[in-house]
Structure 1
Amino acid sequence: MTSLRAWLQASRLPSQSYIALPLLLGQFVAVRLTGRPLDIGTLLGVQLFGLLDQLFIVYANDWADQETDRLNRTATLFSGGSRVLVEGRLSSRALGIAALVCAVGLVAVSVGLAVTRGVPLLVPLALAALALLWAYSYAPLRLSYRGGGELLQMVGVSGVLPLYGYLAQGGDFGRFPWWLVACLLPTHLACAIATALPDEPSDRESRKLTLPARVGGEHAAWVILALNALTLVLAPLGLESVGLHADLWLLLPALAALGVVLTRPAPPGSRRILVRVASAITATTAMVSLPLVALALR
């Protein structure tokens, strides 16, 4: 039971929403634009890919960031890694092997989907998902330490994942709604910045160049608000590209984004930092979930 609890802690399953929702959105966009029924077997396969991708990300990141995580005294549910290596609950070898198994598994699932659905592009997209994490955390690029980590997260979650789900459900690449991606890019960038807010002290100490470490948490909060505002400006175009219309529900992500700057001061280690990060995450997940629900109900 102790080992099981350690693996559950390492798996950080609440972060699955970052992966599962964009994959679901892409699939329901395909159903909307093609007029075909949702293929349940494909849906399960795509979400299995997402589960393996999320596990690969958290295991591989824990392995790569273990030294920085040891310096972190302000970790939260949203940041600072799972802490299993820091606490000695799992070995780095076990976590590294688990990351490798998940990487092989998500490629295998993608090969299976590519063959059964006749969509060979799914395999390069799966490899792209692996490459983004490698560029984020590992040498020679290690962009999370050089100031490009948030951008890589944005590209993966807003671009690769919706396109993967869309193609798997039979969507035509030429008809993919790029305006929807353009709409979601800023809010996902904002979310990536927000989850780095609690780690500002240890990131600065280890020279990890996240935006909060470079400009400070209070300035980063205003950047998060501005990015979410840009998403709201682009929302009518993004929603129109999939046959939806902007409505009053956009007030939910707007109010959540406002909560980021209204919750102040919010230094790392405080309770307010939890509210600030949760507000940013709510703004982003709402911008993905609400159109997803609207498409699923049609």
Structure 2
Amino acid sequence: MKASAADHAVPRSGLARWIYALKPVSWPKLFVPALLGQVLGATSAEGLDPVALGWGLAFTSLGLGFIVLLNDWGDRRVDAIKREMFPEGCSPKTIPDGILPAPAVGLAGAVLGCGASLAAAGAQLSLGRSFALPAGLGCMLIFVAYTLPPLRLNYRGGGEVLEMLGVGIALPSYNAYLQAGSISPTSWPWIAGFALLSLASAAASGLSDEQSDRIGGKRTLASTVGNAAARRVSETCVLLGAGVWLGASLLKPAWVSPWASIPALIILAWNFAQLRKVSDEAVTNAFGAQGAYKLHLHRAIWHSTTVAALVLWLQPSFA
């Protein structure tokens, strides 16, 4: 039976439809690493440059819209398969459910991508950062390789690694560069730990789409090795990311301040424990349990990283 948007709560006004398409619940996925990068740059420069913060926010916001909309445009076929298979098992999809037409979504995504490029160019001119534009374009090209033809690596088994590179490494590094003009060695342990946490999120992202992705030819970790293995990879990456932060705070406390890492690790550990409680229930097509699993995973990543960034910023010594 064909899924109908009428069977679900679908926004009615044009503005509400665009907001729905931009998926506000997922925004921390980019804003948290951007915040981390801005704070890491500010700590190495011993001061926050509000202009650099503004350019970083502009690039991240426009890039977010570029990614979200063009990802929906690129995935419209497998999204339609998911809605056909599980009409009651997922929320309405932007294009398959007719919330917005595919040409409008693709055009808006392209326009926002141009806007992100202009923001990177503006940052280069305004801040005197020689690599702001090429580095910004590099960040965007990671996504192009992820979803769009001809590479479409998310359909060939490379999506999780690209997400780690883009969200976990490129975005915080780019924002740190905008703030400081360089990336301090003291930033790398924080970024390395966050990259592993981003890989954990990427590994779990395909859980709810396992069967539809498999039918649609999209080779995610879940559709390739199965639900249980994907969860184990995700949980292992969380532990590895936490281990990097903990180890660095013990070996290099001047680089990874225990004042920032300890509260972050406590938050991460608490949410990881909650994640483990629901893990065995988050099996294939158990969409409710999968939602709870991802909720605790995202809280572990986003809340811990945000707290670490805020504590770093509030420390008078910028330790």
TM over 0.5: yes
Bigger shift: residues 38-47 or 96-105: 38-47
Residues 23, 161 of structure 1: 8 Å contact kept: yes
Q: Does 1:63 align with 2:73?
A: yes
Bigger shift: residues 257-266 or 117-126: 257-266
Look up the equivalent residue of 2:156 and give its one-letter code: R
Q: How does 1:162-173 map to 2 (within 5 A)?
A: 162-173=172-183
Residues 197, 241 of structure 2: 8 Å contact kept: yes
**Equivalent residue for 2:99?**
89
1:87 to 1:188, Cα distance in 2 relative to 1, 3 A: same
1:247 to 1:214, Cα distance in 2 relative to 1, 3 A: same
User: Considering only CA atoms, is the larger Rg found in Structure 1 or Structure 2?
Assistant: 2
**Equivalent residue for 1:191?**
201
How far apart in 2 are the matches of 1:200 and 1:97? 29
**Partner of residue 102 from structure 1, selected from 96, 100, 112:** 112
**Equivalent residue for 2:288?**
271
Q: Does 1:10 align with 2:21?
A: yes
Q: Does 1:54 align with 2:64?
A: yes
- Note the C-alpha offset of 1:179: 2.0
Tell me the C-alpha RMSD between the 2 structures. 2.2
Look up the equivalent residue of 2:276 and give its one-letter code: V
1:160 to 1:24, Cα distance in 2 relative to 1, 3 A: same
- Note the C-alpha offset of 1:149: 0.2
How far apart in 1 are the matches of 2:254 and 2:174? 18
Give the unaligned 5+ runs of structure 1.
none
**Partner of residue 259 from structure 1, selected from 255, 274, 293:** 274
1:191 to 1:81, Cα distance in 2 relative to 1, 3 A: farther
How far apart in 2 are the matches of 1:182 and 1:260? 22
Residues 44, 180 of structure 2: 8 Å contact kept: no
How far apart in 1 are the matches of 2:52 and 2:92? 31
Give the unaligned 5+ runs of structure 2.
1-11
Residues 168, 198 of structure 2: 8 Å contact kept: yes
**Partner of residue 140 from structure 1, selected from 133, 150, 153:** 150
**Equivalent residue for 1:159?**
169
**Partner of residue 247 from structure 1, selected from 241, 262, 267:** 262
- Note the C-alpha offset of 1:190: 0.5
Bigger shift: residues 281-290 or 50-59: 281-290
**Partner of residue 220 from structure 1, selected from 208, 230, 243:** 230
How far apart in 2 are the matches of 1:187 and 1:237? 15
Identity across matched positions, percent = 27
**CA deviation map 1:223-256 (0-9, x unaligned):** 1111111111111355546441142541221232
- Note the C-alpha offset of 1:277: 1.0
**Equivalent residue for 2:40?**
29
How far apart in 1 are the matches of 2:162 and 2:102? 24
- Note the C-alpha offset of 1:262: 2.4
TM-score (structure 1 length as normaliser): 0.92
Look up the equivalent residue of 1:262 and give its one-letter code: K
